[in-house]
Structure 1
Amino acid sequence: MPFAGFDIPKIRSLGTSLKTLGDNAGKLHSDVSAVLTQAQSLMGGKPATTSRDLEPLVGNPFSFWPFGFNNLPGSLNGELGDMSDSMARRCSQLEKCNELLAKGYAIDPALAFADEKAPDEKKINDALDALAALDGKDFGDDGNRDDLDEVKDKLNGLTAAELDAFLAKAKPEDLRRYGDLARKTDDSGMWWWESHDGIPDSAFRDHLSGLLKKAGPSHWAKLEAAFPGIQPGFDTTDVWLDKQNSQRGQTVQGVQYGTPTDPLFAKPGQVDASSISQGQFADCWYIASLTATAQADPQFIAEGLKQNANGTVDVRIWDKDGNKHWVTVTPDLPMDSNGHLISAHGNAETWPAYYEKAFALMYGGDEGGAPDGRDGDKRYDHADFGNYGATEWDMTDKAPPYVTGENSKSIDNNVDSIKKSFDAHHPVIVASNSDSSNLPSDWQKNGAYVTRHVYYVKGFNANGDVILGNPWGGGSPDVVATREQYEKFFNTPQELQVKK
Structure 2
Amino acid sequence: MGFVGFDSAKIRSLGRDLKALGDNAGKLHSDLSDVLTEAQSLMGGKPATTSPALQPLVANPFTFWPFGGGSLPGSLGHELGEMSDSITRRCNQLDMCNELVAKGYDIDPALAFADEKAPDEKKITDALSAIAALDGKGFGDDGNRDDLDEVKDKLDGLTAAELDAFLAKVPAEDLRRYGDLAQKTDDSGMWWWESHDGIPAGQFRDHLSHLLQEAGPSHWAKLQAAFPGIQPGFDTTDAWLQGYNSQLGQGVKGMHYGMPGDPLFATPGKVDASSISQGQFADCWYIASLTATAQADPKFIQEGIKQNPNGTVNVRIWDKDGNQHWVTVTPDLPMDENGNLVSAHGSGETWPAYYEKAFALMYGGDTGGTPDNHEGDKLYDRAEQGDYGATEWDNTDKAPPYVTGHDSKSIDNNLGAIKKSFESHHPVIVATGSVDQNDVPPEWKGSFVSRHVFYVKGFTADGKVILGNPWGGGAPDVEATPEQYEKYFNSPQELQVSG
TM-score (norm 1): 0.96
Counterpart contact for 1:141–1:189, Cα < 8 Å = no
Instruction: Report the Cα offset of residue 35 of structure 1.
Output: 5.0
- 2:451 is equivalent to residue 452 of structure 1: yes
Q: Deviations over 1:14-56 (max 9, x none)?
A: 01111111122222333444555566774975693355x4454
Which residue identity is paired with 2:49?
A
SS at match of 1:167: helix
Distance 2:186 2:442 in 1: 57
Alignment of 1:81-480 (within 5 A): 81-139=81-139, 142-193=142-193, 195-435=195-435, 436-444=437-445, 447-480=446-479
Deviation at 1:143, TM superposition (A): 1.4
* SS of residue paired to 2:439: coil
In structure 2, the residue matched to 1:27 is 27
Secondary structure at 1:154's aligned position in 2? helix
Letter in 2 for 1:497: Q
Question: How far apart, CA to CA, are the structure 1 residues paired with 2:457 and 2:38?
Answer: 63
CA contact 1:37–1:48 (8 Å) conserved in 2: no
Q: TM-score, normalization: structure 2?
A: 0.96
CA distance in 2, matches of 1:263, 1:179: 32
Once the two structures are superposed, what CA deviation does each residue of 1:119-150 show, in whole Å capped at 9, x if it has no partner?
11111001001111111113586511111111
Relative to structure 1, is the Cα distance of residues 140 and 67 closer, same or farther in structure 2, using a 3 angstrom cutoff?
closer
Contact 1:12 1:88 survives alignment (8 Å): yes
Aligned equivalents of 1:348, 1:477: Cα separation in 2:
20
Q: Percent identity?
A: 76
- Asked if the contact 1:311–1:331 (Cα under 8 Å) also holds between the matched residues in 2, the reply is yes
Q: What is the SS of the residue equivalent to 1:24?
A: helix
Aligned-residue Cα RMSD (Å) equals 1.8
- 1:26·1:64 contact (CA, 8 Å) conserved in 2? no
1:48 maps onto 2:73 in alignment: no
1:132-178 deviation line (CA, Å, top 9, x unaligned): 11111135865111111111111111110000000001000111111
Shift of 1:115: 0.7
> How far, CA to CA, are the matches of 2:189 and 2:97 in structure 1?
46
Tell me the CA shift for residue 213 of structure 1.
0.5
Residue type matched to 1:485 in 2?
Answer: Q
Structure 2 Cα separation of the partners of residues 225 and 477 of structure 1: 42
Cα 1:451–1:56, aligned 2, differ >3 Å: closer, same or farther?
farther
CA distance in 2 between counterparts of 1:411 and 1:269 reads 33
SS at match of 1:48: coil
Contact preservation (8 Å) 2:465, 2:480: yes
CA 166–48 in structure 1, closer or farther in 2 if over 3 Å, else same:
same
Q: Distance in 2 between matches of 1:122 and 1:112?
A: 18
- The whole-number CA distance in structure 2 between the counterparts of 1:425 and 1:33 is 54
3-state SS of paired residue (1:193): helix
Counterparts of 1:458 and 1:335 in 2: how far apart (Å)? 29
Helix, strand or coil at the partner of 1:270: coil
Cα contact 2:430–2:492 (8 A) shared by 1: yes
SS at match of 1:70: coil
Residue 219 of structure 1 and its aligned partner are, at CA, apart by 0.3
Cα pair 2:37 2:48 within 8 Å, conserved: no
Shift of 1:375: 1.9
Instruction: Say if 2:237 and 2:392, in contact at 8 Å, map to a contact too.
Output: yes
Seen in structure 2, the aligned counterparts of structure 1 residues 11 and 244 have a Cα distance that, compared at 3 Å, is same
Q: How far, CA to CA, are the matches of 1:312 and 1:468 in structure 2?
A: 34
Query: Which residue type is aligned with residue 343 of structure 2?
Result: S
Mark the CA change 1:84 to 1:190 in structure 2 (over 3 Å): closer, same or farther.
same
1:258-293 CA-partner distances (Å, limit 9, x unpaired): 011111111222211111111111111001101111
**Of 36-45 and 59-68, the range deviating more from structure 2:** 36-45
User: Are 2:185 and 2:195, in contact at CA under 8 Å, matched by a contact in 1?
Assistant: no
Q: 8 Å contact 2:141–2:193 — kept in the other structure?
A: no
Maintained 8 Å contact 1:294/1:301: yes
* Contact map agreement 2:244 2:252 (CA 8 A) in 1: yes
- Quick one: distance in 2 between partners of 1:334 and 1:79? 45
* SS of match in other structure, 2:485: helix
- What code does the residue aligned with 2:92 have? S
Where 2:250 maps in the other structure, the secondary structure is coil
- Cα 1:13/1:137, change in 2 over 3 Å: same
1:35–1:292 distance in 2 versus 1, CA, 3 Å: farther
1:43–1:394 distance in 2 versus 1, CA, 3 Å: farther
The answer to whether the Cα contact below 8 Å between 1:363 and 1:385 also exists between their aligned partners in 2 is yes
CA distance in 1, matches of 2:169, 2:290: 41
What is the Cα deviation at residue 464 of structure 1?
1.7
Residues 186, 196 of structure 1: 8 Å contact kept: no
1:53-68 mapped onto 2 (5 Å cutoff)? 53-65=53-65, 67-68=67-68
Kept in 1, the 8 Å contact 2:156–2:210? The answer is yes
